[in-house]
Amino acid sequence: MKNELMAVDGQILELSKKEITQLAENFMANADSINTVKLAAQLAKFTHLSAEMDKLLKEHLFVDLRQNKDGKLSAFGVDFSEMEGGVKYDYSETESWCKLQFEIDRLKDKQKEIEAFCKALKSKVSILDEETGELADFYPPSKSSTTTIKKVIK
């Protein structure tokens, strides 16, 4: 395990994605001999550091990419290039789309009202719609969740 840690510390740039995955798997195969809480804390802080550095580094990397004639860079087995992400379209100039969107928004609001009503229910309730004469059944929603681990860095 000590050799694996040294590889992470001194040679991370030389490892492939597959080798990094294997290294993590090998490391965690010995989970009973490590302080998992300490490791989880280190990883949480490293992940935060990584995300913050990535945000700050992005503009510098754009400059480097734009200075390169083909707009691409590669270093230590990592390829960099610009791409368009999160493309958004605005249909607000199309009247038929706006009418549909208005109706969708109205229906979503109605759906939210029903959801709020159902969340407060303890058991099935039947309500008569006075306009249509129809009897509608309302049920409390079923719940599901996924257990995860909350990490808060102070």
Of residues 1 and 131, which shows the higher confidence score?
Answer: 131
Predicted confidence (pLDDT) at residue 1 exceeds the cutoff of 50: no
Q: Give pLDDT, residue 9.
A: 56
Residue with tokens 């599901």: 144
- Tell me phi and psi for residue 78, to 5 degrees: -120, 125
Q: Give pLDDT, residue 95.
A: 98
pTM of full prediction above 0.75: no
Give the mean model confidence (pLDDT) for residues 118-136: 94
Predicted confidence (pLDDT) at residue 34 exceeds the cutoff of 90: no
Predicted confidence (pLDDT) at residue 4 exceeds the cutoff of 70: no
Q: Give pLDDT, residue 10.
A: 62
Give the mean model confidence (pLDDT) for residues 45-50: 94
Predicted confidence (pLDDT) at residue 64 exceeds the cutoff of 50: yes
List the one residue out of 127, 113, 121, 126 whose CA is nearest residue 143. 121
**Average pLDDT, rounded, for the chain:** 90
Give the mean model confidence (pLDDT) for residues 104-119: 97
Predicted confidence (pLDDT) at residue 20 exceeds the cutoff of 70: yes
DSSP 81-122: E----S-----TT-HHHHHHHHHHHHHHHHHHHHHHHHHT-S
Band (pLDDT 50/70/90 cuts) for residue 12 is confident
